[in-house]
Structure formats: C-alpha cells, structure tokens
Amino acid sequence: MTIDLSGRVAIVTGAGGGLGRSHALALAARGARVVVNDLGGARDGTGRALAAAQAVVAEIEALGGEAMANGASVTSMEETQAMVAEAVARWGRVDILVNNAGILRDKTFAKQDLDDFCAVFDVHFMGSVNCAKATWDVMSQQKYGRIIFTTSSSGLYGNFGQAAYGAAKMAVVGLMNTLRIEGVRSDIRVNCLSPSAATRMTGEVLDEDLLVALAPGKVSSAIVALAAPDAPNGAIVCAGAGSFERAYITLTEGLVLGDGGRVPEALLERFAEISDRTGEAVPAQGPLQAIFEVERAKAAMVGVDAG
C-alpha cells in the first residue's frame, strides 16, 4: 500500500515552522495541495506576520508542489471561515485538517494569571474547534474528511507548570471522541497526534542529542498516515524519534460496592482492587460506562453492599 494524497487539499495550522512546517512538507510530498497557515507570532502568541508561511510555501513549490500562505488567527471564527473559503475557491474542496497551531505561557497554576491561562486554552482548544467547525460542512457535503488534533503528553499524563496547556490538550481528546462518532456517516475520520519533537516551543530545554533524535520530521509520518484514506478513527497516536505508540483511555472492571454508609471507606480500602487493570476495556462510546455499571450492579445483586 502506498499513501497517495494527489488531488487532496490540506490545511495545516501553525505551519510556518517546527512541526507544522514538517507536516505541510510531508503532506505536499504525497501530492496534497497545502494551505500553510501561520499567524507569524512569537512563542507566546503575540504579533503576526505572513513571512514564515510564505517561506514554507516557497519550499513546497520548489519541490514541485502546490501551496498557498494564510495568516488567519485560529482564535477567530471569521478568519478561519475565510481561510476555508479561500481554499475551496482555489481548489474546490478541503480534505485534511491538521490542527497544529499553539502557544506557550508556562507557569505554575498558583502563579499563572487567568488571562494567560485563557489565551493558551483559546489557541490550542478553541482554535481547534474553530478550524474543525469551519471545515465540517465542506467535509460533510463531499462525504470525506480527515481531521487531526494535536494533543500532548502534558495533557494525557500531566507536566509541571503546564496546567493551561495540559488542560487544552486533553480537551481536544474529548472533542475528538465525539466528532469521530458524529462524522462516521460522512466518512470524516478524526484522530489525535501526541508528538514528541524539538520545536521552537521545546528546543531551548533539550540538549544537542535530543534535538537530533526528536527532529520534527520523525513525527510527520504519523500525520501522513492519519490523513490517508485508510486512516483509523478515534485514535490517539503518539510519535517521536521515529517511534510510534497508541494511548488509550480505559475503564477497569472495578468493584460493585453498593450505596451503604461505609462505601466511601470501602472505596479507599479497596482502591487497589478497583484500580486493577486486568480485563480493562475501552468503551466505544461514553454511555457504555453507565450501561456497564448498571448491568454489573444487577449481576451482583445491588442489595448486598458495603454496609
């Protein structure tokens, strides 16, 4: 099998450098026409300029590909809608959306100003919402779409000083989990990528060996795969240094403790049993948790509780 994206149109946000640039080049190398979106701001999101996006467009064109630069802010629904309209006007469709744009304003939760917290959340989460919303109708009408959200190990597992960033990155997983269900009838497949890469946002804290090992190009193969016609749906793919993994949100078998007066104490006393991952599962949809719990309680005869 060879992934051929000829005739497909991709939008990559935050594509003026780092991972976004690498993603745009990788998609273009497989034949996709690429909207290279980048606000052109600083690491913290301030300022804007189109030069970085234009430089990536020039790279793609020098390699024989087709691309266009776009400076829309993903935090603006009006600007993202205009970006999608521009792509459709030029190429007739939008097949692939890679939500990569991001900023960092790291501080501990105690010290972080809520304006900074909201700014980070607005770019990473609402920026992804805006772009997905702007492309959804187009993809629904053409009965085809591939949407990729960028999550992070900081969201999946936590990281000191990144409460806002981690919260936003976990929020896109929740968004993906619902959109991958709602998009099925239109063949819109929605996945998340959790990258480990040396970029403008991470490079200053990595030593030389890690800078080489974690080159952005070693992540972008996952973007090509998730943009393919045969892409999975609803996966959290982790990638870095040429290694690829899959992360899951699972449900343990747990215990039926009932609703007696000592249930809180029993829950803590038996927490290790509740946490036992033997036989854990990944519910296909959220309501299946409640169905599982009700059926299990019935089978255990709920009248027998922890006292």
Q: Quick check: 10 pLDDT over 90?
A: yes
User: What value does the mean pLDDT of the chain take?
Assistant: 93
Q: Is 144 a catalytic residue?
A: no
Q: Give the active site residue among 144, 157, 165, 248.
A: 165
Comparison of pLDDT for 47 and 163, the residue scoring more: 163
Alpha-carbon span 55 to 61, nearest angstrom: 10
Residue 214: pLDDT band (50, 70, 90) is confident
pLDDT digits (tens, 9 = 90+) for 98-140: 999 999 999 999 999 999 999 999 999 999 999 999 999 999 9
pLDDT digits (tens, 9 = 90+) for 241-260: 999 999 999 999 999 999 98
CA 215, 218, 224 angle in degrees (round to 5)?
Answer: 135
pLDDT of residue 210: 73
pLDDT of residue 200: 56
E strands, 241-297, are: 243-247
Continuous segment of H or E residues that includes residue 146: strand 145-150
% of the chain with per-residue pLDDT over 90: 86
Continuous segment of H or E residues that includes residue 179: helix 163-182
Q: Quick check: 169 pLDDT over 80?
A: yes
Alpha-carbon span 267 to 261, nearest angstrom: 11
Q: Quick check: 284 pLDDT over 70?
A: yes
